[in-house]
Structure 1
Amino acid sequence: MEYFNITNQHLLIEVLQSWNGLSLEKLFRERWKAPKKLVHEWRMSKELMLNGNSVPWSTVLTEGDTISIPLLDDAEKENVKAADLGISILYEDDVLLVANKPAGMDTHPSQPGDANSLINGVAYHLQHTGQTCMIKHIHRLDKDTTGAVLFAKNRLIGSILDRMLEEREIKRTYLALVEGIIKNDQGEIKEKIGRDRHHATRRRVSPTGQTAVTHYRVLNRDSKKNLTFVSCTLESGRTHQIRVHFSHLQHPLAGDTLYGGRRTFPRQALHARKIEFTHPISEQKMTIEAPFIDSPEIFNVHLL
């Protein structure tokens, strides 16, 4: 076993050296910060095992020990309809995966019965590969934004990743083409974002909105086409954040007609290029990149 795997609907985890001296209780409550309800459920069921035995939660862990966590309820509660949508899986192990979302596709169903979203395509991949597990998206991308989306395959990993996202321990890097030539090589956009009262789906910069910070770096400038190629990271994850912030700077994303951009491309030129995080179980540094998947291409001709 290499740190963890799934066997007979149990997640088997090998205790790492960095967990030496921790009790089961401290591993779940302090290291992983697992939800109290979930921990209580496992305590009551007495199905959680250490080296094949049911032990008190005060038991101290030693490197090489094996923790067995039951996952049957996760599979039973799964209710995502599978659909063959040709989704590309960028990374996968027994507890999580990263998929490359195409343009024109929601991250999850927008209405009951819809089966054309990314999560439906990921559910098909799991079904096709014989995996009977739940699937949960940790974050979302706009319908016409492409790129990396992180998914969890069980409730424990889902809760850990949710907390990591909230505590900004998951870094996402976006690439965008914006209209006009940005003079500064890098910058920070720090403007609150709220709903636009005059438009159902649009957001706007608003003093009463939610705090939002976008950091950007210029990668290239195309004076002939009057476009700037930028890399962005977010300190927050507000709806349409990058689109709203660059529109506010009078540099709307190319193709983003909702926020003042010209119809240069069939969609807004925004791609979630990279996702970085520490794996919740192995604690290894993960860096996963999503290749461009537009046809015809939007970004490649603007790369340095």
Structure 2
Amino acid sequence: MPAEPLHTSGHPRMAILYEDNHLLGIEKPVNVPTQEDASGDPDLLSLLKEDIKERYDKPGNVYLGLVHRLDRPVGGAMIFAKTSKAASRLSEAVRSRKFDKSYMAVVRGIPGKQSGRLTDFLLKDERTNTVRVVPKGTPDSKEAILDYRVLGSSPQDNLSLVQITLLTGRSHQIRVQFSHIGCPLYGDQKYGSAVNKPGEQIALWSLYVGVPHPITKEPVDLISMPPRQYPWNLWEETIYKQTAENCTAGYNGNF
């Protein structure tokens, strides 16, 4: 359904992609933390609770369950639970891999294969909030799996447009795994500082989120298009639209 404006006065514009008594689907703005962090900046979860409280004139605390996250610099589709029952069932959908997420990314260079699966073991350093690929069996490491396909390349810019489907949900997973194969994301200062310049916005976008409705079991499909600005505008908008349509038709991840 078309995005509707969500008014959070004094804060970045957001859009409602889906809403009923159980779920809230929104388009996350870039550079807004998903939840409260050390920066103290306004976070998405708090902003949405404040908005629900105002729109529905709710007294007291508002419940909103966070069931998945996007890194601060990443924008696009996200879904939240408006009841604890919905949160529990969405979390179960995540565990059973019935929670589909598809991303668009612009990466530096051209991956060696047009499509494939990346499987790595990642270890997070909580002190520096960075993640690295480590050998299998490394204590505290977690397996990270994603599927990808290259949708287009711009040789003159040395950039490629990639669709990514996550099979696991590890911290910084997409950014680390693509950096590991020599194709860091455009604008990623943390895992691609050698080829990216300060001030470039990371080109990673949550294109699609699909999940069975926690009550009706009907499919809920959220779609959010990347902004029509560089480097996203190197490719026709029809590529993004067709990819999103394929996701809703059940082709997500079947590369």
Name the residue aligned to 1:140.
69
Name the residue aligned to 2:210.
276
| One of 163, 167, 174 as aligned partner of 1:231 | 163
The root-mean-square deviation of aligned C-alpha atoms, in Å, is 2.1
Name the residue aligned to 2:253.
none
Q: In 2, Cα distance between the equivalents of 1:245 and 1:185? A: 16
Preserved contact between residue 243 and residue 253 of structure 1 (Cα < 8 Å)? yes
Name the residue aligned to 1:200.
128
Q: How far is the alpha carbon of 1:293 from its aligned partner?
A: 4.2
Name the residue aligned to 1:162.
91
Q: In 2, Cα distance between the equivalents of 1:142 and 1:179? A: 19
Name the residue aligned to 1:179.
108
Choose 1 or 2 for highest CA Rg. Answer: 1
Q: In 1, Cα distance between the equivalents of 2:99 and 2:37? A: 25
Letter of the 1:299 counterpart: W
Name the residue aligned to 2:225.
291
Q: In 2, Cα distance between the equivalents of 1:136 and 1:250? A: 36
Letter of the 2:56 counterpart: G
Q: How far is the alpha carbon of 1:101 from its aligned partner?
A: 1.0
Preserved contact between residue 87 and residue 118 of structure 1 (Cα < 8 Å)? no
Preserved contact between residue 33 and residue 41 of structure 2 (Cα < 8 Å)? no
Q: Structure 1 residues 160 and 84, CA, compared in 2 at 3 Å: closer, same or farther?
A: farther
Q: Structure 1 residues 153 and 131, CA, compared in 2 at 3 Å: closer, same or farther?
A: farther
Q: Does 2:174 match 1:242? A: yes
Structure 2 unaligned spans of 5+: 1-7, 240-255
Preserved contact between residue 255 and residue 267 of structure 1 (Cα < 8 Å)? yes
**What SS does the corresponding residue of 2:50 show, helix, strand or coil?**
helix
Q: How far is the alpha carbon of 1:83 from its aligned partner?
A: 6.6
**What SS does the corresponding residue of 1:177 show, helix, strand or coil?**
strand
Q: Does 2:78 match 1:149? A: yes
Larger RCO: Structure 1 or Structure 2 (Cα < 8 Å, ≥ 6 residues apart)? Answer: 2
Q: In 2, Cα distance between the equivalents of 1:183 and 1:210? A: 25
TM-score for the superposition, normalised by structure 1: 0.67
TM-score for the superposition, normalised by structure 2: 0.80
Q: Which portions of structure 1, spanning 4 or more consecutive aligned residues, are displaced by more than 6 angstroms?
A: none
Name the residue aligned to 1:263.
196
Q: Does 2:30 match 1:128? A: no
